[in-house]
Amino acid sequence: MSERLYLSDSYLTRFHAKVLRTLQFKDRLAVVLDRTAFYPEGGGQPGDRGTLGTVPVVDTQEDDGEVLHLLDAANWTAAEVEGTVDWRRRFDHIQQHHGQHLLSAAFLRVHGAATVSFHLGESTCTIDLDCSIDKLRPDALRAAEAAANESVWRDLPIIARDFVGEERARLSLRKEAVKGDRVILVEGVDASPCGGTHPRRTGEVGCVAILRAQRWGSGSARVEFVCGNRVVRSLVQANDLIARAADAMRAAPAEIADAAVRLAAEAQARKKAIEGLEGRLAAHAADQLIAARPTGAIAETVEGGMLAAKRLAGALVARGRIALIASQEGERVYLCFARPPGAGVPMNAALKAILPILSGQGGGSAENAQGSGNPARLAEAMAAAAKQVEGG
């Protein structure tokens, strides 16, 4: 069993160890050491990376109580090794993980919302709360965020060690322990069983920023957040996106919201105008088709996809005619069969009869049916539909 050095010192990044054995794990060579500062994935926190000697450690996992160092190498022969943990990544995880402890404590204290799970991702982190999303409106999120940051900026000492017996019984633990006696304690703020890496003082978290919250499952909410240096990166990225959007809208960054509202209104007005013109064009096309074919169903192929087919079919039906309209878009043909209300051949039956020709699918009602398929035999399918509708 490896001695886990990170439990007593999260800042230890260099150590000497003996190799106990090697094995294959998840299609990689893995090394087991007698002692290690590498944290194995667990509790929502990813495993550490770094090097053993000059060989990259691409991940650290735990299997059957052993810490496995997964290597970017095909073989291993050394009996002893110098290990180095990637400190930049480790400290990022320290900030995110302890920030999560403070944020979870804040949600419980401010809103009575308990954390049921935590995930530390590559760019952001999430906690799932036993709380309805309806209770987490923006002002509620900001209140929890402010409470967490108050704990950060008080720069409180953090105790990370085993608590047993009466000493442990006196602690008001935020959650039950899964394994072990180790507790992360911030007096007056939080006490939580945890085997992860944490800072010495809360101030090292830097700050906590909630990005968004969404409904998650039945009666739960997922809160996405970042801590420490990730807050700086998030701010830089947000400013860059705002600047690019402002340039595209030809507006000052401070005026981007008003510019977006204005552009959306203009786009909606243009959309309505275009829809009106397209409706007039469909009506004109329907009049021309009726003039050329005074009786019988009108079978026609148009451009523009399903929307164009539906628009023309609607114009024809409004003029009392049966419409069998097709429109090819890409490698798919779209069909819209429609007729006026009352007696007549069911359009869904007519469509169903020709779909095998197109290897297609679709359905609808007696008065309106839609589908799509392979356009290779479109002419044959349209002729078959017209023949069926006209009873021939």
Of 85, 110, 132, the one marking the end of a domain is 85
Domain count, the chain: 3
Co-location of 174 and 201 in the same domain: yes
Is residue 69 domain-shared with residue 43, that is, in the same domain?
yes
| Residue whose structure tokens are 């959650």 | 175
Looking at residue 251, what is its pLDDT? Answer: 86
Mean pLDDT on 225-252: 92
Q: What is the pLDDT of residues 98-148, one digit of tens each?
A: 999 999 999 999 999 999 999 999 999 999 999 999 999 999 999 999 999
User: Sorting pLDDT into bands at 50, 70 and 90, what band is 43?
Assistant: confident
| 117/80 same-domain check | no
What is the per-residue pLDDT for 392? 47
Question: Do residues 232 and 156 both lie within one domain?
Answer: yes
pLDDT at 275: 87
Sheet with 221-227, side-by-side order of all strands: 115-120, 125-129, 221-227, 208-215
Claim to verify: residue 112 and residue 77 sit in the same structural domain: no
- Residue-level pLDDT at 1: 80
Beta-sheet pairing, 3-4 with 35-36: parallel
Q: How far apart are CA 269 and CA 59, in angstroms?
A: 54
268 in a structural domain: no
The pLDDT tens digits for 290-347 are 999 998 899 999 998 999 999 999 999 999 999 999 999 989 999 999 999 988 889 9
The percent of residues in the chain predicted with pLDDT above 90, rounded, is 80
Task: Determine whether 220 is exposed, middle or buried from the number of CB atoms within 10 Å of its CB (0-12, 13-18, 19+).
Answer: middle
* Whether residue 382 sits in one domain with residue 335: yes
Q: Does residue 271 form part of some domain?
A: no
Q: Are strands 66-71 and 28-33 parallel, antiparallel or unpaired?
A: antiparallel
Read off the pLDDT of residues 165-199 as tens digits, 9 standing for 90 and up: 999 989 999 988 877 899 999 999 999 999 999 99
Q: Do 154 and 170 belong to one domain?
A: yes
Q: Are residues 65 and 109 in the same domain?
A: no
The last residue of a domain, from among 178, 208, 241: 241
CATH code of 49's domain? 2.40.30.130
Range(s) of the domain holding residue 32: 3-85
φ, ψ (nearest 5 deg) of residue 329: -140, 110
pLDDT > 70: what percent of the chain?
99
Residues 207 and 187 reside in one and the same domain? yes
How many residues in total does the chain contain? Answer: 392
Q: Which of 203, 198, 205 is nearest to 6 (CA)?
A: 198
Is 381 inside any structural domain? yes
State which of 33, 60, 85 marks the end of a domain: 85
- CATH code for the domain of 159: 3.30.980.10
Average pLDDT, the chain: 93
Question: What is the predicted pLDDT for the residue at 98?
Answer: 97
- With bands split at pLDDT 50, 70 and 90, how would you rate the model's confidence at 357? very high
In a domain, 40, yes or no: yes
* pLDDT at residue 344 in the model: 87
- Given this model, what pLDDT does residue 176 score? 84
CA-based torsion, 33, 37, 41, 43: positive or negative: positive
Q: Are strands 14-25 and 368-373 parallel, antiparallel or unpaired?
A: unpaired
pLDDT, tens only, 54-97: 999 999 999 988 999 999 999 999 999 999 999 999 999 999 99
Based on the fold, state whether residues 101 and 162 are members of the same structural domain. yes
Residue 246 domain flag: no
One domain for residues 106 and 66: no
